[in-house]
Structures are given as structure tokens and as C-alpha cells.
Structure 1
Amino acid sequence: MHFVYILYSNFSDKNYVGETSNLEIRLDNHKSGFYSNSFTTIAKDWELFFKIECKNVSQARKIEKHIKSMKSRKYLLNLGSSPEISERLLNTYNS
């Protein structure tokens, strides 16, 4: 099982989109600065804003790529408030 997730930092007012097989560990790593050369080192207050459970790594990476390609904060906010968008993504990238 894999997840696509969106983190939000109030301190930096930024979002981060990623994918992982272990969401709890990945979130802890982002908060602790484990990824020293990562974008997420700009803040320590990352909170999980959105997650979508995918059936495999391939589907998760395709959905992550789609979300990042949108380059839109409004789209990210809509993902968090409209479950039908998640369903469409899962159906579109059902491989």
C-alpha cells in the first residue's frame, strides 16, 4: 500500500507533495529535518493536510506527478475539501 500526501507548514505558508509506503515515518522524518537537502527543511511545523491511499507505488507516483503538475494552491485546497477529486484520480490512474 502506498500513499500520496500533502503537508502544510503554517510557518512558511507552503505545501509539500510526496508519496510513501509509511506515512507516519515519512512525516516524522520531514518534521525532524532528516532529509537535510530537502525542500521541507525550510520549516519544522509540517502537518498532514491531505492523504490518498493508493493500491501500489506506480499509481501513487502517477497521482503525485499529476498533483505537482497542477502547480496550484487552489487545486491542493480543493483536494482537501472534495473527496470526489480523489476518487477521480484513483480511477484515472488505476494501474
Structure 2
Amino acid sequence: MHYLYILYSQKLNRFYTGETSDLQARLEMHNTHHFKKAFTKPADDWTLKLIFETNTRNEAKQL
């Protein structure tokens, strides 16, 4: 399984869309600033707002 996800940061009042095969690990990466130059770096309060489950990464990216 693969997932398209939408995160929300109340601190920034912004949404972020991404894709992954491991939602919990990816959410933790965003909130701990694992991605040094990422759009999500300025906040540490990202929460999952919407999840679409797909069969493949390509399907998730097409959504």
C-alpha cells in the first residue's frame, strides 16, 4: 500500500501534500525536521488531515 496524505500546521496555517508507504514514520520526520530544506521545516505541529490509500506510488502521485 501507498498513501497520499495532507498535513496541516496550525502554527503556519498551511497545508502540505505528500506521498509515502509509512504514514507514521513520515509524519514524525516532518515534525522532527528530518527534511532540512523542506516546506514543512518551519513548524513542528503537523497533523494528518486527509489520507488516500492507493495500490502504488504512481497512483498516489497522480492524485
RMSD between superposed Cα atoms in Å: 0.5
For 1:1-95, list aligned pairs within 5 A: 1-63=1-63
CA distance in structure 2 between the aligned counterparts of 1:58 and 1:11, rounded to whole angstroms: 31
For normalisation by structure 2, the TM-score amounts to: 0.97
Ranges in structure 2 where 5+ consecutive residues have no aligned partner: none
Higher relative contact order (CA 8 A, sep 6+): 2
Q: Specify the alignment match of 1:93 in structure 2.
A: none
Bigger proportion of residues as strand? 2
Q: Between Structure 1 and Structure 2, whose CA radius of gyration is higher?
A: 1
1:67-95: CA deviations, max 9, x gaps?
xxxxxxxxxxxxxxxxxxxxxxxxxxxxx
Bigger proportion of residues as helix? 1
Q: Specify the alignment match of 1:77 in structure 2.
A: none
Ranges in structure 1 where 5+ consecutive residues have no aligned partner: 64-95
1:14-43: CA deviations, max 9, x gaps?
000000011110000000000010000011
Q: Taking every aligned residue pair, what percent have the same amino acid on both sides?
A: 38
Number of positions where the alignment pairs a residue of Structure 1 with one of Structure 2: 63
